[in-house]
Structure 1
């Protein structure tokens, strides 16, 4: 484990403005978020705030908000988000040296929409590979050492079997002392044994078991009877 808890404090702010109006952000400000396992999944509908959280966690750790590894310092010259610049961490034993020194920091921020460009700037050659193969190159080449690995919907470019490979990479990182924080819609990824699952929505943040996830319930029912869902959008 690298970090044990994320939190943020702000002064006077307009609760009607983004991101302070987002329920999960309000809960983060009020309570923080404690990490209880080497792999944490944030799961929720589009607009729930899970991507806002993982981007802020990456920025708070010193990873570029554009995406990329700990080597890629100030690559995009993007300013931190209003939440990211306020994120603080309580470090676990394995992360205290990283918290004190940028040179000691290890990790990667993978966001679906910028991943291939970020990898190209870091020396990978995405040309000649499919989108999914480019993602897998990141997992194979960059997800190697103990550090903080933040991902925003990495399944976006991956097939079923590629998602299974990613699960294997996550498990091996955890064994090496690394930590993964991943926003996802995938019932495949969230089935990783021992992972902590936080469901994000109008209620804020709540820990749930895999079998109780809304996405798992929807996929089960859809695969059992697609017409029960499709008739609402096709008729």
Structure 2
């Protein structure tokens, strides 16, 4: 493990203003987020705040909010978000050594909408591969060293088979000493044995087993009987 807990050191702020009014951010302020496994998945509906949370975690670790590796420090010239400015970590011994100097820090922030741009900055040629292949290229060539790897919906461009390959890369990365925090809608990814799953929503944050997740239940029901869902949305 590299980080054991994330929390926010907060200056005076308006509790009714974004991002402090997002339930999962309020939970982070109140109790922090403890990491109990090398791979943590954050799941929840669109708008639940999981992307806000993973971006803040990436920024707190020193990764560019636009996406990219530890070797590219704020290549996008975007200022840190209000949450990212205040994220702090309780680190494991290896993490303390890593966070003690910039040159020792290793990691990558992969976000769906800017992944190919980030890969292009780092020497890949994304125009020569599909969007999905670009994602997998990051894992094959950049996600190699023990470090903190933060991802926002990496399954967005991937087929079923490619998601399985991604899952294998995540598992290999964790076994080699890396730590992964991933926001996702994928029942396939969240099925990784041994992963910790945190469900975010109006309740804030809570841990859940894979087979108790709402997203897993909906996919099961939909695949068993698509018409039971489609009749509500089709004329």
Give the TM interval when normalised to the shorter protein. over 0.9
Tell me the equivalent position of 2:211. Answer: 211
Q: Which aligned pairs between 1:129-208 and structure 2 lie closer than 5 A?
A: 129-208=129-208
Distance in 1, Cα, partners of 2:123 & 2:98 = 24
Distance in 1, Cα, partners of 2:101 & 2:6 = 18
Q: Which aligned pairs between 1:59-70 and structure 2 lie closer than 5 A?
A: 59-70=59-70
Gap regions ≥5 residues in structure 1: none
Question: Between Structure 1 and Structure 2, how many residues are aligned?
Answer: 235
CA shift, 1:74, in A, is 2.7
What is the root-mean-square deviation of aligned Cα atoms in Å? Answer: 0.7
**3-state SS of the aligned residue for 1:25?**
helix
The yes-or-no answer on 1:106 pairing with 2:102 is no
CA shift, 1:12, in A, is 2.2
Gap regions ≥5 residues in structure 2: none
Distance in 1, Cα, partners of 2:94 & 2:183 = 23
Distance in 2, Cα, partners of 1:36 & 1:71 = 27
The yes-or-no answer on 1:124 pairing with 2:93 is no
Distance in 1, Cα, partners of 2:48 & 2:92 = 28
Tell me the equivalent position of 2:89. Answer: 89
Judge conservation of contact 1:94–1:177 (CA < 8 Å) in 2: no
CA shift, 1:9, in A, is 2.3
Distance in 2, Cα, partners of 1:30 & 1:73 = 30
TM-score (norm 2): 0.99
Judge conservation of contact 2:67–2:114 (CA < 8 Å) in 1: yes
Over 6 Å off, 4+ runs = none
Distance in 2, Cα, partners of 1:233 & 1:16 = 33
